[in-house]
Structure 1
Amino acid sequence: MATASRPRLLSLDAFAKTVDDARIRTTSGGIITLLCVLITLVLIRNEYIDYTTVITRPELVVDRDINKQLVINLDISFINLPCDMASIDLLDETGDMQLNIINAGFQKLRLIKDKGNIVREISDDTPALNLDRPLSEVVKGLPEGGDPKTCGSCYGALPQEKHQYCCNDCYSVKRAYAERRWSFFDGENIEQCEKEGYVKRLRQRINDNEGCRIKGSAKINRVSGTMDFAPGASFTSDGRHVHDVSLYGKYQDKFNFDHIINHLSFGSNDAREEILNSVHPLDGYQFMLHKKHHVASYYLKVVATRFESLDQSKRLDTNQFSVITHDRPLTGGKDEDHEHTLHARGGIPGVEFHFDISPLKIINKEQYAKTWSGFVLGVISSIAGVLMVGTLIDRSVYATQQAIRGKKDI
């Protein structure tokens, strides 16, 4: 009788079976089995932890909100500059210019000192002088039929033969001086300023060596620009941005732009607190060179950042930035620390923040570290790997034991 043909699938069986009678159990095999079980449980536990862990993955995309305005949050303390002398200007590449915005979204705090140390802060509500307002809005002529005696003097800064200009307050006189580019100093001997107490108040704050803390927010266009702090009120003349620094230069032993940046950020502060790993590199930065005619510059690279939660219930937008610091004396010359570096000459003492807005956005998305399929694959791989390694070790140990017994029998 013909023998039944062997099934063709037997030659493809990768899981060859061992006869039960040929199986040998050893003590070393039991120990290796226990170790394999423990290692497998640990690996499965680690796979589960990875599967349930939430991580944040960044993604770089083109910023589609480039036309929206950007908020700057700033808190800076000038240790040796009274609030009356500090001004903030915003300029950008589009040509937009916002002059002396210290009262537009910012709060001024006078830093009162005692023996050189700051002892308290007092809110200062003194309005900032914007000398860039049109002359006709500030210095108006005498109304028809008005008393010529009520037309205040502009001290030669503006023509007054026909009473076409009347400087009836300190601000009007200062604006008239700006029109002629005259130095205003502290308003001494100007009747309007003396009556208003401007001169007395300013001199008192200067003699007390007051400082100024400025904090608040301002909106800028999402283009490259500059926010600068400089002494004296600012205005434009013949297309140039200038400051009246006459009072700053009058006192050679007072005033400088030593400062502490308490905080600087871009975007919503509420969102900033929610963003993980969000850093603000200038927070707490101190600039203390004690030099009067010096300018400190900060070059900021701003990148829009979005945070998206795991369940998409939260979408928070903010910004992050990197910074490069630089400072130079206005007199120019060689750098004290780098002998081959030559500084430019000229400029205005102060602090400048140059910001460059990136056209890209970083989206930080919360995700699980592993998917369900990745978790299952990891568990199977862990079990298979441990069993394979355990089998190899067991065979090696068993072969070694057999070889040792063979030598003893000889």
Structure 2
Amino acid sequence: MSKLLSLDAFAKTAEDARVKTTSGGIITLICCLISMILIRNEYLDYSTIVTLPELVVDRDINKQMDINLDISFLNLPCDLINIDLFDETGDLNVINSGLKKYRLIRTGGEVAEILDESAVLERDAPLSEVCKAVQGSDCGSCYGALPQDQNQFCCNNCAAVRRAYAHANWKFYDGEGIAQCEQEGYVQNLRARINENEGCRVKGSAKINRVSGTMDFTPGPSMTRDNIHVHDLSLYLKYKDKFNFDHIIHSLSFGELKEVHLGNPLDNYSFLQHKKFHLSNYYLKVVPTRYEDTNSKLIADTNQFSVITHDRPLQGGKDEDHQHTLHARGGVPGIAFHFDISPLKIINREQHAKTWSGFVLGVVSSVAGVLMVGSLLDRSLYAVQHIRKKEE
């Protein structure tokens, strides 16, 4: 026992040898208050949820992802808007994959859906299917765009004539003078929408491959001939004082729509230049992102992206704002979204800012530090008071 007494680091003093002062009581109250504040701060740190990112290789690179788009064209009717999606795996018509067109009527601000099945028929179906003979009916004229000496092709409706003209790379304009289009009312309806200055809103979701690609909006139907992608701009060029690609991007996102909102950079972005022959480009870098809670359970599996915008006039020449910048000449008016999918994924995991052991250690350290400082301060004040009493 005597040996243990020599090892005691917590030596006690006799109760009657202790001296209590008023300053010591004040310092004790202050130390208690500070300790309670520090303990509260330690608990807030312990209960706070933080998100720590981790960069890994995306194992879902072979799966398709959704592209969610809501964009309004203020000065372009739906009949003139053509949507193409090009990627490294081929050409895909995204209208048939979930994007829909809605007419923007200026008179009452109403929004009415417009069905664009004819455009899908023109682009997706084989030529022999679109321009085929119908039993019990005459073979409709293709107006020289396709051979008809042996009734190989028959254009019995306006959509078939449009497809035949596109195959021959002829200008279709608004279908004036074509009997099939006149009888179906295509010409009258199209002119009415143009004269009323209708706009168009495109919204919906579509599946895309996780590879680099481009989605563009251009005027007039498109065709690929001899590995060259061409557009029929005849109707767009016919009206000199109408049509431009001023637009408002209400929302643009990649992946499933979840309650987690990342604040995408193109939400509510507007481009209002009022220029007919202009091309707008958006270069997007898409990074897959996963959110997990504190128990490593999935909250959301979405995507983030950054964007660089660039626009130029088709006639080329010097930039109006930067005189030392020279734009290229040529191209097709419209807008294009160039997206590049990253092969890496960001995993954001939620966890407590401190562990339980870290919380206990922080509380002990805070209280011990406060008491040590208070003890030193009390001893210093007591020594000063003792010296003054001796001098007196």
Structure 1 length-normalised TM: 0.90
Correspondence for 1:139 among 131, 142, 151 = 131
1:97 corresponds to 2:91: yes
Query: C-alpha separation between the residues in 2 aligned to 1:39 and 1:196?
Result: 85
1:156 corresponds to 2:144: yes
The residue aligned with 1:188 is 176
CA shift at 1:313, angstroms? 4.5
1:206-285 superposed matches below 5 A:
206-269=194-257, 271=258, 273=259, 275=260, 278-285=262-269
The residue aligned with 2:102 is 109
Query: C-alpha separation between the residues in 1 aligned to 2:188 and 2:384?
Result: 101
CA shift at 1:332, angstroms? 0.9
1:127 corresponds to 2:117: yes
CA shift at 1:289, angstroms? 0.3
1:9-408 superposed matches below 5 A:
10=6, 14-18=9-13, 20-94=15-89, 96-99=90-93, 101-114=94-107, 119-130=109-120, 131-132=122-123, 133-140=125-132, 150-269=138-257, 271=258, 273=259, 275=260, 278-407=262-391
1:9-66 deviations in Å (ceiling 9; x for gaps): 84x6654545545432111111001110111111112212222222222221111101
User: Judging changes above 3 Å, is the alpha-carbon distance between structure 1 residues 109 and 213 closer, same or farther for their aligned structure 2 residues?
Assistant: same
Unaligned runs of 5+ in 1: 1-5
User: Does the residue aligned with 2:119 lie in a helix, a strand or coil?
Assistant: coil
Task: Report the AA paired with residue 113 of structure 1.
Answer: R
Instruction: Say if 1:300 and 1:355, in contact at 8 Å, map to a contact too.
Output: yes
CA shift at 1:232, angstroms? 0.8
Matched-pair identity in %:
65
1:343-379 deviations in Å (ceiling 9; x for gaps): 1111111111111111111112121221111111011
Instruction: Say if 1:260 and 1:284, in contact at 8 Å, map to a contact too.
Output: yes
Query: C-alpha separation between the residues in 2 aligned to 1:17 and 1:359?
Result: 67
Range moving further from structure 2, 344-353 or 157-166: 157-166
Instruction: Say if 1:60 and 1:362, in contact at 8 Å, map to a contact too.
Output: yes
Query: C-alpha separation between the residues in 2 aligned to 1:339 and 1:13?
Result: 84
Instruction: Say if 2:71 and 2:203, in contact at 8 Å, map to a contact too.
Output: yes
User: Does the residue aligned with 1:194 lie in a helix, a strand or coil?
Assistant: helix
Query: C-alpha separation between the residues in 1 aligned to 2:116 and 2:62?
Result: 34
Query: C-alpha separation between the residues in 1 aligned to 2:11 and 2:112?
Result: 88
Instruction: Say if 2:290 and 2:298, in contact at 8 Å, map to a contact too.
Output: no
Instruction: Say if 2:256 and 2:301, in contact at 8 Å, map to a contact too.
Output: yes
Query: C-alpha separation between the residues in 1 aligned to 2:118 and 2:389?
Result: 100
Query: C-alpha separation between the residues in 1 aligned to 2:113 and 2:150?
Result: 42
Range moving further from structure 2, 217-226 or 54-63: 54-63
Task: Report the AA paired with residue 250 of structure 2.
Answer: N
Query: C-alpha separation between the residues in 2 aligned to 1:221 and 1:340?
Result: 39
What RMSD, in angstroms, separates the aligned Cα atoms of the two structures?
A: 2.1
Unaligned runs of 5+ in 2: none
User: Does the residue aligned with 1:129 lie in a helix, a strand or coil?
Assistant: helix
User: Does the residue aligned with 1:119 lie in a helix, a strand or coil?
Assistant: coil
Range moving further from structure 2, 84-93 or 396-405: 396-405
Instruction: Say if 1:295 and 1:327, in contact at 8 Å, map to a contact too.
Output: yes
User: Does the residue aligned with 1:37 lie in a helix, a strand or coil?
Assistant: helix
CA shift at 1:72, angstroms? 0.3
Instruction: Say if 1:84 and 1:128, in contact at 8 Å, map to a contact too.
Output: no
Query: C-alpha separation between the residues in 1 aligned to 2:126 and 2:228?
Result: 16
Task: Report the AA paired with residue 47 of structure 1.
Answer: E
CA shift at 1:399, angstroms? 2.5
Instruction: Say if 1:292 and 1:349, in contact at 8 Å, map to a contact too.
Output: yes
